[in-house]
A and B are shown apart, each in its own frame.
Chain A
Amino acid sequence: MQREEIVAMPESNNTPSDQQITGNGGHLLEVSDLHVEFRTSGGVVKAVNGVNYILDEGETLAILGESGSGKSVGVEAVMGIVESPPGFVTAGSVKFRGTELRGMEEDQLCKIRGHNIAMIFQEAQATLDPGFTVGHQISEMLRLHRGLSKEEATKKSVELMDRVQIPFAVERANDYPHQFSGGMCQRVMIAMALALDPDVLIADEPTTALDVTIQAQVMQLLSELQTETGMGIILITHDMSVIADVADRVVVMYAGRVVETGSIHQIFDQPAHPYTVGLMNCVPRLDRKEDNLNIIPGSPPNPINLPAGCAFHPRCSLARERCLSETPVSAEVGPYHQSACHFFEEVLVGH
């Protein structure tokens, strides 16, 4: 199988000063050719099929895709928390600051998880342990990784809760998750994730379950924290408005593969893959009057039975014979802009 090319150093537009810090060429996180599959009695589910992306300091990388595109499984593989069995990481490499994480001993990985790479999840209330107080769960991080005493950890937890703007932090630290609203729970998760000043924060659809106004608040908070700490954020979402707001670079995923990578401007103004174009068209616009909502015809493929060649071809208006047999390789469209489509030039022209 042909290796897709690794995306080169991105041009960050948010924090130019941090750009110089990584001047030695090292990336924060480097994912290459990642493959994850799930072995079930109905067949092998190919969830992730050769994914590459890179994250640098101070940068927000958005992973955009539908349900089932493999975006969540991919980052779980980065953290090493794919449920195995039935899931298996069958190929690829994950490098954190140059150190290979795949194949690392479990206890080493445990030190990195939560500490250097932290993760927050979609339904915050469900992802907090219902049996322990919020304060206890935050201080657990501190006691575990930094060896703080109970009192010190509790103090720091309250500080963290303050930092994420949870009112009455001192009292609320003794409350249980079910006593918080969704937005507040998400803040708690953020506090937990940030407790040890991680270098990378992976946010898996953090705002999908929240109201729009709360969503804005949470994203604003993340943005501020990123400016303070210079951490890299991987934001997984299917919501384009969120991406437009905060992302620096975007990775578009379909059927477990990366179909397009680029900066936020490139993706929005010059999409070079039919799927990306389709996604852009799906967003209703206020400035144009249209009779129908646009959709991408068809449905996502069954990962047990992926189509040969380009996985998108059954739904693509530009599909040709070559697309049915040959899997497209990522080709360079422009500076740090890549697309995995045989006919990306036509896509660019058509848009």
Chain B
Amino acid sequence: MTIFIIRRILQAAVVTLITLSVVFVVGRVVGDPVRIVIGIEAEETRVQEVRDQLGLNDPLTVQYWRFMTGALRGEMGTSFWTRTPTMPMVLERLPATIYLGVVTALLAFPLAILLGATAALKPHSWADRLINVTALGGVSIVEFWLALMLILVVAVQIGWFKTSGYGGAEYVILPALTLAYKPIGRISQMARSAIIDELRKPYIKAARAKGLSEQQVVFTHALKNAAIPIITTTGDEVATILNGAMVVETVFGWPGVGLLTINALSRRDLPLVEATVFVVTGMIIMTNMLLDVAYTYLNPRIRFQ
């Protein structure tokens, strides 16, 4: 088991390096950042001066090396926009996004599994179909539209929660609800089909023959074995949440990494973009690794290899 964890950490490191390289490549492909900084009409000599200053005229390999070593030290350059180092900017916004993400996850995951299990217990009942339609609705909605609708209905008309800004419950609830909707949809669907698939297996019949109530059969036996595909889906949903966070943060003005990324992209602020991509991928890699470890622990067949 420990060997497995070490292997996963190494894998994560390799993926991080590859990601950084990709970011580097994309950064160079995007176009000449210099003109953005000093203006389109600037003279060619001035452009070359700035390029020298920024080290953009050095051979690519040198740039690459400088980039990678800098990144590993935590230095990802200076923002074109604010002229301050990028990493601190990103890291400063990180807690807000994590806060939002955690609230969303706490809302979404337990609810999704509960819904999925309920639907699986009585397939094709009206409860199941309601849950199914809600789940389908979840994956059919665009987050930003949902956000706008929520804002319209709840905040503007009724005036309950806050529609923008950072803070406690009343600030975070709308963004979290918006973000949670899609994962709830997907995870509950996956939970339902995973549990139904498990319920088809022979050991379920044997469990019933042992005198276990239907509740016990579903929640103890089926759920534990169904947890494996459910966790896999949950892992995929982390990427969805981060995806959605970019849009949701924009609509609600939530000062997190997502909003920063969008701003950086609109301003073509390359170093900042590189920094945000690095942090976002870092988060995903870490979450996936943790989930992988959890998955391995739950699946005895893999654990004892």
Direct contact between A and B in the complex (CB less than 8 angstroms)? yes
Write the residues of chain A forming the contact surface with B, with a CB cutoff of 8 angstroms. Answer: 76, 79, 81, 83, 106-107, 110-115, 118-119, 121, 123, 126-132, 140-141, 144-145, 176, 178-179, 189, 192
Q: Are B221 and A131 in contact (CB under 8 A)?
A: yes
Check if A129 sits within 8 Å of B207, measured CB to CB: yes
Any A CB within 8 A of the CB of B224: yes
Interface size class of B (residues with CB under 8 A): 20 to 34
- Which of A113, A126, A131, A189 touches B211 (beta carbons < 8 Å)? A113
**Min CB gap B233→A, angstroms:** 18
Of all chain B residues, the one with the shortest Cβ separation from A81 is B208
Contact residues in B for A114 (Cβ distance below 8 Å): 209-212
Query: CB distance A131 to B300 under 8 Å?
Result: yes
Q: Is B219 an interface residue (CB 8 A)?
A: no
Residues facing A in B201-257 (CB within 8 A) are 201-203, 205-214, 216, 221, 224-225
Bound form: Cα–Cα A81–B209 in Å: 7
- The residue among A79, A110, A131 with the most chain B CB atoms within 10 A of its own CB is A131
Interface string of B59-87 (1 = CB under 8 A from A): 00000000000000000000000000000
Give every chain B residue within 8 A of A126 (Cβ-Cβ).
201-203
A79-B209 in contact given A126-B202, A127-B202, A132-B224 (Cβ < 8 Å): yes
16 contacts between A and B (CB under 8 A): A79-B208, A81-B205, A81-B209, A110-B212, A114-B210, A114-B211, A118-B210, A123-B202, A128-B206, A129-B203, A130-B203, A131-B224, A131-B300, A145-B211, A178-B301, A192-B210
- CB of A123, distance to nearest CB on chain B (Å): 7
Q: Complex: how many Å from CA A178 to CA B299?
A: 11
Q: What is the bound-complex CA distance between A144 and B217, given in angstroms?
A: 12
B298 contacts chain A at the CB level, 8 A cutoff: yes
Contact (A176, B301) CB under 8 Å given A127-B203, A129-B225: yes
| Residues of chain A contacted by B300 (CB below 8 angstroms) | 130-131, 176, 178
Tell me the complex Cα distance, A132–B216, Å: 14
In the assembled complex, the Cα of A83 lies from the Cα of B298 at a distance in Å of 28
The answer, yes or no, to whether B126 is at the interface (CB within 8 Å) is no
Give A140 to B207 CA distance when docked, in angstroms: 10
For the complex, give the distance between the alpha carbons of A43 and B14 in Å.
Answer: 58
Closest to B223 in A: A131
Known A-B contacts A126-B201, A176-B304; the reply to A131 vs B298 at CB < 8 A is: yes
> Whole-angstrom distance between the alpha carbons of A119 and B207 in the complex?
10
C-alpha gap A81/B204 in the complex (Å): 10
Among B208, B210, B213, B224, which residue has its beta carbon within 8 angstroms of that of A140? B210
Docked-complex contact A111 and B211, CB < 8 angstroms: yes
**Candidate in B202, B216, B298 with the most chain A CB atoms within 10 angstroms:** B202
Across the interface, name the chain B residue whose C-beta is closest to A179: B304
Which of A107, A113, A130, A179 touches B210 (beta carbons < 8 Å)?
Answer: A113
Q: How far is the CA of A126 from the CA of B216 in the complex (A)?
A: 19
**Max chain A C-beta neighbours (<10 A), residue from B211, B221, B300, B304:** B211
- Which residues of chain B are near A132, meaning CB under 8 Å? 221, 224
